[in-house]
A and B are shown apart, each in its own frame.
Chain A
Amino acid sequence: MGAGHVHRLYRHGHTPVHRLPAHVKLLALVGFVFVVVATPREAFWAFGVYAVLLGAVAVIAAVPARFILRRMVVEIPFVVFALLLPFLAVGPQVEVLGLSLSEDGLLAGWNILAKGTLGVVASILLAATTDARALLMAMQRLRVPPVLVEITSFMVRYADVIADEMRRMKIARESRGFEPTRRRALQVVASSAGALFIRSYERGERVHLAMLSRGYNGRLPSLEVQQASASAWVAAAALPATALVVSVLAWMSL
């Protein structure tokens, strides 16, 4: 049984960042992301400061750079889009290394790249220091609608089960001589995906049946709640608060 995606994001540790209650960290992340997004894109130096701030969090949380870099591949589609923008956008052009690029496009691409990357890294840091169950408790604590918490909880629970099923189907395909390089491959993979969907759907029905059998009435019982001390709030607020100061300075310097 392989550890699935959800658990691979978490990195066990006992640092001050790990110890902070999850809902406090979650709010700090959301606050930080909002501040970053609200920063004017022309204030290049501000994004450098944000990166340094995240670097400091990573050091305190003892999360190595390699760990973060490997998980940043999730961002690649956005990077591609951001890199295309200078070629696609219209407006005043500038010459860069002999290429004629759109000035607006360059700025827009930079905007997506910088803000996206900071958000992704911040999320990776949260996931690395907070296990999935604590995040669920945090969502519940922060009054996220129960249906969303339940959906997330089931995703956490069944991501591995479905990944296992997918792996077994792949092994079964290949055991019967399937080569993923052939032309018919796409069709076969597509029908496997369909079969996987139906299986998951049917499993959903069985899980629901099992839940009803244990008195499920439409609401999951609440998980236990972790209390946050004032000092935890202050510690977690350090990141978004510093970022806010930077953002305000950036607006004033325009």
Chain B
Amino acid sequence: MTPSVVPSLDVEGLAFAYPDGHQALYGVNLRIERGERVALLGPNGAGKTTLVLHLNGILSAGAGTVTVAGLPVAKQNLLEIRRRVGIVFQDPDDQLFMPTVRDDVAFGPANLGLSGSDLDDRVHLALSQVGMLEFADRPPHHLSFGQRRRVAVATVLAMGPEIVVLDEPSSNLDPASRRELAEVLLSLDVTLLMITHDLPYALELCPRSVVLSEGVIVADAPTRDVLADPDLLAAHRLELPFGFDPRTPVPNVPRGGTTSPGTVPA
């Protein structure tokens, strides 16, 4: 990464208090270069979701700035900001609300003004990126949970985002769906920010990890180093699963493109 290139995401001095007075963020600084994959770790209530809702202007900062690929998050650029920042929410049933998968993936690009064959192409591309093309005409409710989450990823990919933000992408997934999603995410050519409690998943997908605790960033380092620091983990209520050792070398399996997750039966 050359620092001269405009970063995908630049958060500076971000502070935020909810209207009820609860202060959630106390001056967060975070710079993510184009193409990076970063895990955002932290205990419940650390302010992770609050931070994410600032990235696309759902919440607006009390102090500090958020810049996405050079464009500041401000009222007059909201539509462009929401195109650039694709948020995949935790519950796919919240994200998928149109009658069919195809309509749902088309929702974002249609809001951007696309129509006709341009729109069809976008939908087609996004669904094939997550291996869900053959389910385009199904109602979302008839898909498995893992399939719904992959469609949720497609709904933001269809907007051509600069950065994809995933809230707990591995939650509620069975191990096979979890692996399929990892393959999809690794095959994407976008900047990735992933909120997760699933530390092995962070290690697998993200070379860099950021720990948010009580509204401040307390660590920002290679994921392996963060997970190998027991004192840091203990201080911020992070725990490795039983029997998991982050220092074990991971076999270098080729990822993305070698398998197509869409062909796995539901």
Hey, which bits of chain A sit against chain B, CB under 8 A?
1, 4, 7, 132-133, 136, 153-154, 156-158, 160-161, 203, 206-207, 209-217, 220-221, 223
Tell me the smallest distance from the CB of B14 to a CB of chain A, in Å. Answer: 18
A-B contact pairs, 20 of them (CB 8 A): A1-B141, A1-B142, A133-B103, A157-B97, A157-B99, A157-B140, A157-B141, A203-B93, A206-B94, A207-B95, A210-B89, A212-B82, A213-B58, A213-B86, A214-B86, A214-B108, A215-B83, A216-B111, A221-B107, A223-B103
A214 touches B156 (CB 8 A): yes
Contact between chains at A214 and B98 (CB < 8 Å): no
B137-153: contact bitstring with A at CB < 8 Å (1 yes, 0 no)? 00111100000000000
Given contacts A1-B142, A133-B99, A161-B93, contact A213 B111 (CB under 8 A): no
Which chain A residues lie closer than 8 Å to B91 at the CB level?
Answer: 206
Q: A136: which B residues are within 8 A, CB to CB?
A: 99
Residues of A within 8 A of B99 (CB): 132-133, 136, 153, 156-157, 223
Chain A residue at smallest Cβ distance from B140: A157
B94 touches A215 (CB 8 A): no
CB-CB < 8 A to B53: which residues of A?
209
Judge whether A217 and B79 touch: CB under 8 Å.
yes
If A153-B98, A157-B140 touch, whether A215 touches B93 (CB-CB below 8 Å) is: no
Which residues in A have their C-beta under 8 angstroms from that of B85?
A: 213
Which residues on the B side are within 8 Å of A153 (C-beta)?
Answer: 97-99
CB-nearest residue of chain A relative to B137? A133
B159 interfacial contact with A, CB 8 Å:
yes
Inside 8 A of A160's CB, which chain B residues have their CB? 141
Q: Would you call B110 an interface residue if the criterion is a C-beta within 8 Å of the partner chain's C-beta atoms?
A: yes
Chain A: minimal CB distance from B185 (Å): 18
Cα distance A7–B139 in the bound complex, in angstroms: 10
- Residues of A within 8 Å of B82, CB to CB, are 212-215
**Shortest Cβ gap from A149 to chain B (Å):** 11
Closest to A206 in B: B94
In the bound complex, how far is the Cα of B139 from the Cα of A158, in angstroms?
11
> Is B100 part of the contact surface with A, judged by Cβ < 8 Å?
yes
CA distance A1 to B147 in the complex (A): 14
State whether B87 touches A211 (Cβ < 8 A).
no
For the complex, give the distance between the alpha carbons of A215 and B81 in Å: 9
Name B97-115 residues within 8 Å CB distance of A: 97-100, 103, 106-108, 110-112
Decide: A210 and B159 in contact? CB cutoff 8 A: no
Chain B residues lying within 8 Å of A216, measured Cβ to Cβ, are: 107, 111
Does B155 sit within 8 A of A, measured CB to CB?
yes
Contact A215-B112, Cβ < 8 Å, known A154-B97, A160-B141, A206-B91? yes
Q: Are B94 and A203 in contact (CB under 8 A)?
A: yes
When distances are taken between beta carbons in the complex, the residues of chain B under 8 Å from A132 are 99
* Choice from B79, B96, B100, B141 contacting A215 with Cβ under 8 Å: B79
Is B56 part of the contact surface with A, judged by Cβ < 8 Å? yes
Q: Which residue on chain A has the smallest CB distance to residue B159?
A: A214
Interface string of B3-20 (1 = CB under 8 A from A): 000000000000000000
CB-nearest residue of chain B to A3: B142
CB-based contact B58/A209 at 8 Å: yes
Interface positions, chain B 188-230, Cβ under 8 Å from A, are none
Contact of A210 among B94, B103, B106, B139 (CB under 8 A): B94
Distance A36 CA – B188 CA, assembled complex (angstroms) = 59
A98 to B71, CA, bound (A): 85
- Residue of A154, A161, A213 near B87 (CB, 8 A) is A213
Q: Which residue of B lies closest to A159 (CB)?
A: B141
Q: CB within 8 A of B159: which of A158, A203, A212, A215?
A: A215
A136-B99, A156-B99, A206-B91 known; A213-B56 Cβ under 8 A: yes
